Structure 1
Amino acid sequence: MEGRQGRSLLRQEVSEGIKRYILENKLRPGDPLPTESELSATLGASRSSVREAVKTLDALDIVEVRHGHGTYVGRLSLSALVEGLTFRGLLSRDDDFKVMSDLVDVRELFERGMAERILTSLDSDHLRTLYRIVDDMERSGNADGTGFVEADRAFHALLVEPLGNELIGQLSLAFWDVYTIVVPHLSVFTSKDEAETVANHRRIVDTARAGDVDAFTLAIAEHYAPVRRRVQEARAAAPAT
């Protein structure tokens, strides 16, 4: 046990050393890192420890291993967060509902909290595209569930895209990734629900076009309220485990 704990601690220390190296050398995503042997010498660690640390950082997208080419600074995405939340949600039925409820809260707070900035950043081209996405949702809702989900995802991505904040965009998509993965396991949404979702999305664009922050914030709340209600109803109807 002590041996395993020691190796884990060493791997963590080397991982922190690699992250410090990236920061101290002001490396950017896509920049190459030194070779394994060079990192070993720089950090004063064995090559096997460096190799294990790189694997850990690769899984977190902090670095990217390109086999045959070397190791590079990663894009620092939130894929690890997505995978962790998704696994938690799929591990048990009760956690399905818990994750869904949490994500609804986070996504609503996320979009309502940035309402003024979103409305300021959306131009006429963005608004036209948002309306077109809502039309796509309406057309594909009954015929193609996949198309509906893709349009819904595109809508929320475009809503925050004009902000030009990469982290905000990643957070939005990360929440949506988990949301779309967990939803099918709930067996909650019907054609009527889809029609209501389309209407709520159209109301969001209408209020954004009007530049009314209060109405936009209310439209966001009205969009998520029925989602939250359906999750609660599904949780209450689920058989006890």
Structure 2
Amino acid sequence: MEAQEGVKDLIVRRGLVAGDPLPTESELMEELQVSRNSIREALKALQAVGIVDIRHGFGMFVGRMSLAGLVDELTFHSRITLQNGANHLAHLVEIRELLESGLVQRLIELGPEVDLSPVADVMARMESEAQAGLVSPETDRLFHDLLYRPLGNPLVSQLLGAFWDVYYQLRDALGAPDEPPADVARRHRDIYTAVLKGDRDAAVAAVRAHFEGVRNRTARIGG
């Protein structure tokens, strides 16, 4: 633990950022005055949580932020709670709904100059898929990612992506969607249209209507 804290402190003191190279094992041993085994165990633990990126043959680098560990943990706990009548996943869906209800309002606050043309393109793709009989998970996810991208907050994309990954990994337990593809597309269109019009109340209502289908799907397995 002491070696782990030493490596993290070194990164901060030197002003290193994600992607920057780290000193070698030997240099870290000398700098932190610890054994090679201690350094290796520390680096292994820091790699597991994304603070250190070890690329064999290239060296060690400051890791880029990832929520992969969070996704694995949430998926695991959601899966085991489904077995005893609880529904951890429903709580995650509620958090995401609250998050997106706030995000659409913040997006509208940016004003009409916001470029939503990428969202228009993915919306057209979604409606085309709906006509063919199935809205793909990739298109659904892309809609939400592109919609909030003008906010300029990379954490938004990562958090929404983490929630989506958990939901998608539990798709077998969730069963088939209740909503017809046309309804899925229409609910997304309602969100997009409300944001374009700058109608905050309509946008929040559209987000809640969208998540109604998700809530119904999780309720079936919650007990």
TM-score, normalised relative to structure 2: 0.89
**TM-superposition CA deviations, 1:169-211 (whole Å, max 9, x none):** 2112111111211123210414x44332211100000100001
Structure 1 residue 207 corresponds to structure 2 residue 190: no
For the 8 Å contact 1:96–1:186, the answer to whether it is kept is no
Q: Could you say if the C-alpha distance between residues 138 and 97 of structure 1 is closer, same or farther in structure 2, counting changes exceeding 3 Å? A: farther
3-state DSSP class of the match of 1:45? coil
Greater displacement, 159-168 / 22-31: 159-168
For the 8 Å contact 2:51–2:65, the answer to whether it is kept is yes
- Specify which structure has the higher proportion of helix: 1
Structure 1 residue 156 corresponds to structure 2 residue 140: no
Aligned to 1:52: 41
Aligned to 2:117: 128
Q: Which amino acid aligns with 2:173?
A: H
Segments of structure 2 that go 5 or more residues without pairing to the other structure are none
Aligned to 1:9: none
3-state DSSP class of the match of 1:114? helix
RMSD over aligned CA atoms reads: 2.4
Match for 2:204 among 212, 217, 223? 217
3-state DSSP class of the match of 1:64? strand
Match for 1:230 among 198, 217, 220? 217
1:120 Cα deviation after fit: 3.7
Q: Could you say if the C-alpha distance between residues 149 and 106 of structure 1 is closer, same or farther in structure 2, counting changes exceeding 3 Å? A: same
TM-score, normalised relative to structure 1: 0.83
1:110 Cα deviation after fit: 1.1
Match for 1:34 among 3, 6, 23? 23
Q: Which amino acid aligns with 2:175?
A: S
Aligned to 1:3: none
Matches of 1:49 and 1:86, distance apart in 2: 31
Aligned residues: 223
Q: Which aligned runs of 4 or more in structure 1 are off by greater than 6 angstroms?
A: 122-125
Q: Which amino acid aligns with 1:175?
A: F
1:109-128 to 2 correspondences below 5 Å: 109-121=98-110, 126-128=115-117
For the 8 Å contact 1:100–1:183, the answer to whether it is kept is no
Higher relative contact order (CA 8 A, sep 6+): 2
1:228 Cα deviation after fit: 0.8
3-state DSSP class of the match of 1:55? helix
Aligned to 1:4: none
Matches of 1:95 and 1:27, distance apart in 2: 45
**TM-superposition CA deviations, 1:153-180 (whole Å, max 9, x none):** 1011112211111222211211111121
Q: Could you say if the C-alpha distance between residues 69 and 156 of structure 1 is closer, same or farther in structure 2, counting changes exceeding 3 Å? A: same
1:3-82 to 2 correspondences below 5 Å: 12-82=1-71
